[in-house]
Amino acid sequence: MLIYQLLDVIRETILATAAILTLAPAGQVSPRQAVEYGVCTVQAARRQNLPWQRVAAIVHHESEWRPDARSQSNDWGLGQIHCPGKHCGKNPTPAERAALLDGCTNLLYTAEVLRSKQRACKQDCGGGNYLRLYNPGNPTYQLAVQRIERRIYQSF
């Protein structure tokens, strides 16, 4: 049974890597980075019991796979983790900044935040789609992420 689980993780990692290379703008992500992000995306998603495709769609929408992305509203990294929040203060310390801008750490944070939004939605919004809670200031966010997610599922 363990071998089948291992093969499933390998398959998902290969698919995630291919999706990242396909989605990211040309030259944005090197093959080496895509492999690293593929591994981390699958690992983060599995840790939070989420589909890796959803985590990848959010990251693509938020930063187009730019680990150094930073918004004017104090959102950081691949998944645009908002500060202040669980992972950082209003003015992130050097250690918090380094973690936010590290691709794999940010992917872990992204999946963790997404899972917390899923839990909150089950309690506060009747089980409705929790995607809209990830970026509540954007009324079309849920649809945009779902479109990217469908592209991933249809391509791979």
- 3-class SS of residue 79: coil
How do residues 27-78 score in pLDDT, each as one tens digit?
999 999 999 999 999 999 999 999 999 999 999 999 999 999 999 999 999 9
- 3-class SS of residue 136: coil
- 3-class SS of residue 107: helix
Number of domains in the chain: 1
Q: Which amino acid is at 6?
A: L
pTM over 0.85: yes
Residue 44's CB is within 10 A of a number of other CB atoms, namely 25
CATH of the domain at 79: 1.10.530
Retrieve residue 116's tokens: 């917390």
**By residue range, what is the domain housing residue 55?**
2-155
The H or E element containing residue 110 is: helix 103-124
CA distance 120 to 5: 30
